[in-house]
Amino acid sequence: MRVADSARSNRYLSLLERQRIATLRAQGVGVREIARRIERAASTVSRELHRNLLRHDYNVYDADLAHARARQRARRVRRTRLIRDPELRRLVQAKLELEWSPEQIAAHLRIAHPDCRDWHLCHETIHQGLYHGGKGGLSRNSPAGCGPGDRYGSDVAEPTSGRPGSSRRRRSSTATRRGRGARTDRGLGR
């Protein structure tokens, strides 16, 4: 499925920007000046040149070829570290089953395995493994009523009137079982 350049995010360089980079580079303009002229970060231009100037290109940046390479990379299916490394996935899954948060797991991995940089995950990688894992992904085996990211049970918003944004939180059965009663239980009734 092809996405028109006009519909693509500004996060990615467009073909026109790549053509400007090629023209300016052929004129001998430096990376920082190219970045200033196309209103992008110097690191973006540097990364673009590094990714798309291959040895057999003879140090000539070809915008059309670079754009085709970038589109090809975007279409490629990437396997996450959690899928590529079964031992890492087992360790993360074990911590999830102990009801550790992805943030706690990410911090633990950095402390417990300082020399293994491949195991230094961002907590967002673990979240994606949970919610978009698919085959080989992670799962959070929580007790009934405890959804991922919700340690005390899922509170469900109920509308209190027909007005938008007007709702009150209904206490979940899990929260009630755990002894976290309503305000009236603590003498704080309304």
The string of pLDDT tens digits covering residues 53-66 is 877 777 788 999 99
The pLDDT of 87-91, averaged and rounded, is 91
User: Distance between CA 10 and CA 16 in Å, rounded?
Assistant: 12
Report DSSP state, residue 171: P
What DSSP string describes 76-117? SPPPPHHHH-HHHHHHHHHHHHTT--HHHHHHHHHHH-TT-G
pLDDT at 13: 92
Mean pLDDT, rounded, of the chain = 75
The string of pLDDT tens digits covering residues 5-16 is 555 567 889 999
Radius of gyration over alpha carbons of the chain, in Å?
25
- Decide which of 162 and 108 is more confident: 108
- Decide which of 9 and 132 is more confident: 132
> Residue 190 pLDDT > 50, yes or no?
no
CB neighbour list of residue 80: distance below 8 Å, 6 or more residues apart: 125, 128, 129
